[in-house]
Amino acid sequence: MVEIKNLSFGYNGKTILRNINLKISERERVVLLGVNGCGKSTLLKIMNGLIFAESGEFFFRGLLINSDYFKNPENRRSFRSSVVMLFQSPDVMLFNPTVYDEVAFGMRQMKKDEKEIKERVEELLNTFGLTKYRESPPFELSGGEKQKLALAAILAIRPNLVLLDEPMANLDPKSQGEVIDLLYELDITTVISTHNLSMAPELGERTILLSESHEILYDGEINSLLNNEELLIKANLVHRHRHRHKEIDHTHYHKH
């Protein structure tokens, strides 16, 4: 579904992604793991066709996605109806007058009929526990509710590839569990970024680990990564403390 070949990207001459190679198959659940600043959001934006590689290639279902591809409005429409992204901050995504309109927006853009839209919006509001806010303006919602609303809005168009940028950050544990269950029930491909090692096993089966030098350090099953302390230290995901405690030196690891 996705293929990225020898991809590099930088801002103002500063490298943010270095020689990235990866393939993602339909229905895979990929966790993009790494500390702040390693390039997770940038890689997701490339997969969402918002920014383009400086060198290397990004293919979606065999099509090379670059600025030329988007010059054709039909191509843009087709890509945008298949690939969606939940941004790290939900506020930037919410701009409609009511919660209902927010979820309906994408389908209205796609010229679906209002009856179909109404059914889909009501189903999603119900699933996400937002029915009571149907007529409220999105800015009145709490951080976690906004996050759920933004997710409902992107799922409304039944996308195939869903890119989620640190979606758990604003959610309380109960809502995190609900969102994880919901994503698992959907017949979609997901790439979910997180800087939180302990969340990774819940978010997908495969983990791609980015280093602070913006390269892929690991790509595979989460369990083998969790047992590879050396790699986790290298990625700065765990660290070693040295306490001086009653004159006994003791070293431990903790995950955060």
Using CB under 6 A, list all residues that contact ligand ADP.
Answer: 11, 16, 34, 36-42
Return the number of the residue (58 or 105) whose C-beta is nearest ligand ADP. 58
Least CB distance to ligand ADP at residue 55 (A): 17
Strands 2-11 and 238-245: unpaired
Return the number of the residue (149 or 210) whose C-beta is nearest ligand ADP. 210
The option from ligand ADP, Mg ion, none interacting with 16 (CB < 5 to 8 A, set by class) reads: ligand ADP
Q: Which of 160, 132, 146 is nearest to 102 (CA)?
A: 146
Which segment (11-19, 36-44, 52-60, 118-126) binds Mg ion by CB under 5 A?
A: 36-44
Query: Which stretches does DSSP call E strand in 123-230?
Result: 161-165, 189-194, 206-210, 216-221
At 187, list the tokens.
């017949």
DSSP 76: H
At 230, list the tokens.
């050396």
DSSP 232: H
The option from Mg ion, ligand ADP, none interacting with 34 (CB < 5 to 8 A, set by class) reads: ligand ADP
The option from Mg ion, ligand ADP, none interacting with 148 (CB < 5 to 8 A, set by class) reads: none
Per CB under 5 A, 41 contacts Mg ion: yes
Least CB distance to ligand ADP at residue 56 (A): 16
Residues 213 and 185: beta-carbon distance below 8 Å: no
